[in-house]
A and B are shown apart, each in its own frame.
Chain A
Amino acid sequence: MSKIPADLLYTEKHEYVRKTDDKSLVVVGITDYAQGELGDVVYVELPKVGTSFGRMDAFGTIEAVKAVSELFAPLAGTVTEVNTTLDSDPALVNREPYGDGWMIKLRIKNPADFDQLLDAEKYKQLVGE
């Protein structure tokens, strides 16, 4: 069974959102369930700082076991920081998806976007756990 922390929000495409003390800044990554489904991650392609995305726009790609999948922005916003550690150690996404395997920090545009996200209970139902 995968880890689904109660204090995070989720998308139907398996990204998570962690709120921070700064109300308009969030941390985005992919869930433990997603990394388990993908398998061994070998490359994460992330956007440049300053890039803006609409809600559920593709913000990057992830490659695991020779398969490339897109990553989606859970909320509209602008990238303030990317996890450059993933360049040299992409398997952090497998080992610590909610910790050092985070992907981007987003300065969100529209707080109402939070209403579109799933809480942990709904995400558990989505993945059948």
Chain B
Amino acid sequence: MSARTDSAPHFPAEPDYLRIEGISKRFDDALAVDNVTLGVRRREIFALLGSSGCGKSTLLRMIAGLERPTAGRIVLDGEDLAEVPAFRRPTNMMFQSYALFPHMSVAGNVAFGLRQERPRLTRAQIDARVAEMLELVQLQRYAARKPHELSGGQQQRVALARSLAKEPKLLLLDEPLAALDKKIRQHTQLELVSLIRRVGVTCILVTHDQEEAMTMASRIGVMSEGVLLQVGTPDEIYEHPSCRFTAEFIGETNLFHGRLEGGRLNGSDFPAPLAIAAEAMPAPGTEVWLSVRPERVVLGRQPPAAVNGNVPINAAQGEVDEIAYLGSHSVYHLRLGGGGRRMIASVPSAHWGEASAPARGERVWAWWLAPDGVVLTR
């Protein structure tokens, strides 16, 4: 899990720059976007994260004006965009796989939007702005090339320059890096963030790649089946998922399912009732799920000693089924008790000290502190 880069400072007092209010989109009989309400702040990089078909691209296209919402309002900087056609909206989109005009040069692509400005810009104004944008993405030398003569990374930068040329109020990025190799992608993520920060444009990013979302965005909205499930900073979303989908979609987790009785989770496939700690404990008898991140699980050859006196601990013995050694840490797949319940634990390599790490087939203890589990009710 990559840590996010420094996030933009939040100014809770400032009203939302972009307000999406109860927006829905129905295609024939399928509800692609289901009553999404969302606020995005000025100069923020906001990521819409979800698997393909979750409605995140449709939401983006509605903001751009390329799709008409079935219901709801989109208000950008105080202006209701409902009746504003796409070509008049102060938003610009960088399309997935870029949609560069193949018959125009790099400079022609960047100039295209500027040529549509009314009142018209002079040729000198356009040329100056194109030069400025190409310098921003460091493609001055490629101005006369055609898109197909460029590498994937260069095409991506042309697309970015083209979508920034008109100084949009809102920059929309649709899977901006999906077309790049994994190696270039990681480098480009940070480059893109610093460039967007430098320009100071408010940005909505659509991606299915949680690492990309966490690296680039100051806040993330997790979507599934057209519904916006949770909005938060990357660490909020990772450490405090609000539902099973988020817990499982962002990173890996161990989920235990049971019923709340006497402050414990009963009936799960964990060998013992589970001690839990939640700020707002749901009513007894409620069906809940407990999410425990692998790195919160501790492994040891001995049963755990009590910590700080009274923090409850959940512990069970299990057999090591698989080990994935990843250098800095290893991921252990355990089979708990005698049953088929599996559990994963991510253990730092330094954890074992002088002793050798457990081998496959060895019986070990696995435990975690009750506050490290997150109680989910949906």
Is B one of A's binding partners?
no
Q: Which residues of B contact A (CB under 8 A)?
A: none
